[in-house]
Amino acid sequence: MVGLVLVSHSRKLADTLIALIQQVSAATIPIARAAGVGEDHQDFGTDAMEIVEAIQSIYSDDGVLVLMDLGSALLSAEMALELLPEEMQTHIRLCSAPFVEGAIFAAVQISIGSDLDSVDQEARQSLLPKIDQLSASGKPIENLQPEIAPSPAPTSSNKVQAPQQMILTIMTKHGLHARPVAKLVQMIKTFDADVEVATLLPAEMTEAVEEIRIARGPVPAASLNRLASLGVVQGDRILVSAHGRMAKEALQAIRLLVAENFGEKDGEIESEAQPEFQQKPSEAGAIFSEKALTGIPVSEGIAIGPVFHYHQARIEIPQHDDVDPQTEWNSLLRAIALVQNNIVQRRRQVQSSLGEAKAAIFDAHLFMLEDVSLLERVRRQIFEQHSNAAAAWDREMKKAADSYRATPNLYLQQRAVDVEDVAMQVLSVLLGKTTTAFLTFPEPGVLIVEELTPTSIAQLDNSKIRGIVTVIGGPTSHSAILARVLGMPTITGIHPSVLMLPEGIIVAIDGFQGKMWIEPDVNVLNELHRRQTEWLTTREQLLASSHQPALTRDGRRVKIAANAGSELDAAMAVKNGAEAIGILRTEFLYLTRDSAPTEEEQKETLTRMGEIMGERPIYVRTLDVGGDKDIPYLHLPVEANPFLGVRSLRFSFKKPDIFLTQLRAILRAGVQANLRIMLPMISQLDDLIQAQRYVEQAHQALEQEGIPHRWPLEAAMMVETPSAALLTAAFAKHLDYFSIGTNDLTQYTLAAERGNPELTSYHDGLHPSVLYLIRKVVQDAHQFGKKTGVCGELAGDPTAVPILVGLGVDELSMNPGSIPRVKDIIRRLELPSVSRLAENALQAESAIDVRCMAEKFLSTL
């Protein structure tokens, strides 16, 4: 039986149509829909990858008929067809019939057993009864063509009628920037109408249409890039013209959207407001010269230097023209579809963690990829000039970026970076290449970027970066952790205005307090230089004794280890006096590459780590991905809340080949290095037992193959969930050591995502509830003679150290740079006093109260 797929911008429309079909069809038919985008598919739009899945879900050799409503649904359906195997494509038909009538007529034919050709023909002729009825009633019929069109052309006749027009004044803070333009494009695509927009000359004061004078345009309003290129700023007047069956309805909807200020509340507009930086840097600096911008401190230190922004390395574009146009076009459509899918996944993650306002920028990225006008220009280059797809795409996207830069709107000029980013994503997929160099600083400076991922952090050139400033992020995000490991002064959560600073302007950042100055005056610079010198001097003094054990004044030893994610980190750990690697983040082996590392590659790296550390133990944490750590080639699932999904050890269970490869490498490297296995994200006893079965399986395989490896190997687990903390006694029978990951433990205990800057007040591991769990882990582990460490950011927090020691923690593992100071603090402690402090902390009502009493305690040492 032929299958039917409905592709619509609206999930509600598709579901309602399916219900109608079920009422009129004579039998149950194979039917699927791909409709709507976003969480729960409640937003308007279409997704090529979802169309592929819908087709595959009902596919048979009898064929599948695909019906689309309008606009980008056609493009998405064409992309989906190109993504399917060739043997399937011959049995799939994209039908140009009207959406509702076509679906009803097709369903009836399918239910009586008609073949694909008959179903397609009947759907295409579904308007004929309506045409005959209207003709018989004597009513005029405009813009209807009873002939069966060979291909979809839903708006080809819209310009037969005279256009309807109106003049509107744009009052949004930054004119038609990315978000309102995306909303406008999205809305227009829901109407069967061709809409154009033009700007009017400022001198034109009348609203009489016959007297208007055009400044720029008109351009098709369905094209995000063309629309944004008008450079509409606050107070500009625009002329909106519409042709077609739903022209009046489209204009009414546009008028309402503009009247509602594109849905932007005053608070949201202010949150995106940018200082009007002028061409002279001194004018920009004057805005902040007396008052620093305040963000969130991430990594301590002072940094002063010129501003540099994130610039992704260029991919070399082939220039050959000996190509098959159809093959090139199909390859481009496939690349665009894959990038669209990646952006949709990213949007969902950002919406989940940072909210809809932050996620909305991805809508503009998606509409860039659906821009019919842009794609048509690329298509002409490929088919008429025989250009290869990469070169044609690159040329047109450069033109689009240049058009943004040419606008008088400073805010829109910055959006050229978005165009280049989207262009590079498609080129990367199309050419099968990735960029490994992100920064090309002519001199050491301060990197300012909207957001840094763990992957991009791992690719930074430390010699060229004095400090980092980000707009998005939190103090316990994985990027923040890596920045601390690298020892770079870093602040996050800073005002978005910094993204518009000209490159080369001098800024200063204070990683202790989360402050930033733009063009600081002499007084600010002198003070910062004084504090920087004082800080460096103190560090040198502490470093001189950091290779000695950390003993309290009454003789209790606390083992001090380092967190590491590279060979450089290991070397820094040794330099700063680490007694072990308390957690080796093996994700660094998987970053900045296109495929998972081989067993041999992992073994060699781990062996080199062992050479650096000597006899010091290394706790190798197995792959911990998911949440805010994404590695594209591992194809992590799209989840509504990735922090509660298939992450860490759960992912390893889903990919046993990757897990076993890593375990084999650890066991083999253990012959020459003092390695232990650390299992992350365990929440129940079954997780631990299953993981240990895999370890045993890797051992047995190596044994049978006669490959030397260490056996048995000491095993440890991370305590990152409340359930793991509460079940410590049950786990203790199966393990040698516990390591408390306070970052995740705090996140899950207080139900506050660690990377969400809106929830920073919930991210403090000194909250009494977290301290109760730490004490329980320590007490239950000690009952079984097992030691417990803390490896989260709390371990290196000077304020937290006395409390952790008072709770009985045996080991603290931190970024290497924190070791000298923490050892110095421990040497000034006495067990009775810190035990009392810990008990008082457990009785406190908030993390703030705990910090106050801990800071008061430290001031007495």
Q: Catalytic site residues?
A: 478, 791
Distance separating alpha carbons of residues 244 and 164, to the nearest angstrom: 9
Distance separating alpha carbons of residues 43 and 182, to the nearest angstrom: 12
**280 contact partners, CB below 8 Å, separation of at least 6:** none
Residue 251: helix, strand or coil by DSSP? helix
Distance separating alpha carbons of residues 548 and 349, to the nearest angstrom: 45
Distance separating alpha carbons of residues 596 and 633, to the nearest angstrom: 8
Distance separating alpha carbons of residues 562 and 425, to the nearest angstrom: 36
| Cα end-to-end distance, the chain, whole Å | 82
Closest by alpha carbon to 155, among 243, 249, 239? 243
Closest by alpha carbon to 727, among 700, 758, 755, 689? 689
- Return the C-alpha torsion angle 652, 653, 658, 660, nearest 10: 110
Distance separating alpha carbons of residues 761 and 751, to the nearest angstrom: 12
**HEC sequence for 75-122:** HHHHHHHHHCCHHHHCCEEEECCCHHHHHHHHHHHHHCCCCHHHHHHH
Cα–Cα distance list, 218 to 95, 226, 399 (Å): 32, 9, 18
**HEC sequence for 759-795:** HHHHCCCCCHHHHHHHHHHHHHHHHCCCEEEECCHHH
CB contact burial 764-782 (16+ within 10 A = b; e otherwise): bbbbbebbbbbbbbbebbe
Which residue has tokens 């540099």? Answer: 308
Burial of 226 (0-12, 13-18, 19+ CB in 10 A): buried
How do beta strands 581-585 and 302-309 pair? unpaired
DSSP E strands, 381-492: 445-449, 465-470, 490-492
Partner residues linked to 509 by β-bridges: 303, 516
**565 contact partners, CB below 8 Å, separation of at least 6:** 458, 482, 485, 584, 585, 587, 588
Give the DSSP per-residue string, 36-87.
Answer: -BSGGG-BS---HHHHHHHHHHH--TT-EEEEE-STHHHHHHHHHHHHS-HH
**Running DSSP on this structure, what letter comes out for residue 233?**
-
* The one-letter amino acid at 778: V
Distance separating alpha carbons of residues 452 and 439, to the nearest angstrom: 12
CB contact burial 34-48 (16+ within 10 A = b; e otherwise): bbbbbeebebbbbbb
**Running DSSP on this structure, what letter comes out for residue 638?**
P
Q: What is the layout of strands, in order, in the sheet containing 293-294? A: 293-294, 515-518, 506-510, 302-309, 445-449, 465-470, 490-492, 296-299
